[in-house]
Amino acid sequence: MSEFIIRGATDADLQAITDIYNEAVLERMSSADIEPRTLAQRKAWVDSHEPRSLYPVVVVENADGEVVAFGSLSRYHERAGYDGVVELSYYVGSAWRRQGVGRQLVAWLLAEARRVGHRMAATLIFADNEGSSALMRHFGFERFGLMPDAVHLPGGIRHDIAYWCLPL
């Protein structure tokens, strides 16, 4: 397995974050966006993670310093009663999948969520995304719900959404 470094995302990482995300958008297997996002839209998404000490956005670099993945902990809901519940998200560039990048990134995000005192992590995954579902099971997430036929994408592609959670 290659050596990877996980670090906080900076403005210099925005192009790589945008490229990795847009790859996922066009693959139609892990994002409900139907059009690629602009650099400005991805910057707004990164900037929305405040305070960053509770809601980090991180990138994964390979040994050559190339950003190969990114992930985040996001506020689950704006209502205060949900404080302590975070949405975990991650995207791995296609050339780097099945090499342990996602596992290392999710492990880091969960450790950070615990470190800062969050009480639960939640995530939404296309139910037919076998790799992400297996990764959630690996970390002990429980699938607690399914929304059938929730996502309609161009080309007649449809996905059910699986809801997963993990008490921290």
pTM of this prediction?
0.95
Q: What is the pLDDT of residues 91-111, one digit of tens each?
A: 999 999 999 999 999 999 999
- Residue 2, helix vs strand vs coil: coil
Q: May I ask the CATH class of domain 5-167?
A: alpha beta
Cβ contacts of 10 within 8 Å, gap of 6 or more: none
Q: Where are the domains positioned within the chain?
A: 5-167
Q: What is the pLDDT of residues 11-45, one digit of tens each?
A: 999 999 999 999 999 999 999 999 999 999 999 99
Q: Which residue's entry shows tokens 């993945």?
A: 69
Model confidence at 3, pLDDT cuts 50, 70, 90, reads: confident
